[in-house]
């Protein structure tokens, strides 16, 4: 059976090779708007997210929901382009703050964990750091074989090394042994084996089972993200931030820290939190 989603994305990749970025952006904006109107279930999930993020501003929710679809479409354009962009092209599109924090963590010679979430363009963030010569590993979601192969080619085009979630133990071993950076998205519990934590005014399950290893081995942890910039105000396309490293003494301390940081980041960029799934625990 033909995988329609894969075929459409392959088509999108080929189109981004020939269409100028400013035109591709306009097309993405249009597609995002169309998806907002027609994908009723996905729209409902985003509105539910906004209910918890901005409970006192319900009038803003429809606008921010539509913006979320439009921003996601723009980020997908950039993901498609990762497969053929040169490293210097990836680098010049980003303003990055806090790179010295990553350098400081690697000086411990114990590897480090870069905690991020489904905000902005996390794939571009990992590829950007790899393009700059950092030894980047990343845990990634396992999809169907054809889709996984397609995504892997794009993610690894600039030197990023990916590990499926089922091989997380190997990813941690490689990270610690070789003093690499392991990027982990921690705002979605894909395996349904995580820990339920308070988040905003609700509860969500977070995949934080690796926290015990981080605490035991004293592995430096940093939080980071990469979000779209307003193209009218900046020449660059993305703003990246890497926050100062932390070494945790307990899993409870780790869990409290990531939820606090995630709440702060999402509140600042509510229309770039791309979680189109019903994961609030009512």
The neighbouring-strand residues paired with 168 are none
Which residue carries 């399950």 as its tokens? 205
Length of the chain: 282
At 12 the pLDDT is 84
Q: Tell me, what's the pLDDT at 92?
A: 94
- Distance (Å, whole) CA 8 – CA 2: 11
d(CA 143, CA 233): 37
SS3 253: helix
Backbone angles phi, psi at 138, to 5 degrees: -150, 135
Are 122 and 185 in contact by the 8 Å Cβ rule? The answer is: yes
pLDDT tens series, the chain, 282 aa: 447 777 888 888 888 999 999 999 999 999 999 999 999 999 999 999 999 999 999 999 999 999 999 999 999 999 999 988 999 999 999 999 999 999 999 999 999 999 999 999 999 999 999 999 999 999 998 888 888 888 888 888 889 999 999 999 999 999 999 999 999 999 999 988 899 999 999 999 999 999 999 999 999 999 999 999 977 777 899 999 999 999 999 999 999 999 999 999 999 999 999 999 999 997
**Distance from first CA to last CA of the chain, Å, rounded?**
37
The CA distance from 35 to 65, in Å, is: 11
* 178 three-class SS: helix
pLDDT of residue 274: 98
Please tell me the predicted confidence (pLDDT) of residue 1.
41
């Amino acid at each position: 059976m033909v995988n329609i989603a894969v075929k459409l994305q392959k088509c999108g990749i080929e189109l981004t090779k020939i269409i100028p970025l400013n035109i591709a952006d306009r097309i993405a904006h249009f597609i995002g708007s169309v998806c907002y109107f027609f994908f009723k279930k996905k729209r409902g999930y985003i509105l539910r997210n906004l209910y918890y993020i901005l409970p006192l501003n319900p009038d803003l929710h429809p606008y921010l929901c539509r913006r979320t679809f439009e921003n996601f479409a723009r980020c997908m354009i950039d993901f498609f382009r990762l497969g053929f962009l040169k490293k210097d092209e990836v680098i010049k599109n980003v303003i990055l703050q806090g790179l010295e924090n990553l350098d400081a963590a690697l000086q411990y010679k114990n590897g480090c964990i870069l905690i991020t979430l489904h905000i902005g363009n996390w794939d571009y963030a990992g590829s950007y750091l790899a393009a700059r010569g950092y030894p980047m590993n990343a845990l990634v979601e396992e999809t169907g074989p054809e889709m996984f192969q397609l995504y892997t080619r794009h993610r690894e085009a600039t030197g990023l090394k990916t590990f499926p979630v089922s091989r997380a133990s190997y990813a941690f071993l490689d990270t610690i042994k070789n003093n690499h950076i392991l990027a982990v998205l921690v705002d979605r519990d894909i395996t349904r084996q995580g820990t339920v934590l308070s988040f905003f005014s609700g509860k969500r399950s977070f995949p934080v089972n690796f926290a015990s290893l981080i605490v035991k081995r004293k592995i430096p942890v940093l939080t980071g993200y990469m979000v779209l910039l307003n193209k009218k105000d900046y020449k660059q396309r993305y703003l990246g931030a890497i926050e100062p490293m932390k070494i945790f003494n307990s899993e409870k301390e780790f869990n409290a820290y990531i939820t606090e940081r995630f709440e702060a980041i999402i509140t600042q960029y509510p229309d770039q939190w791309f979680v189109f799934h019903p994961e609030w625990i009512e």
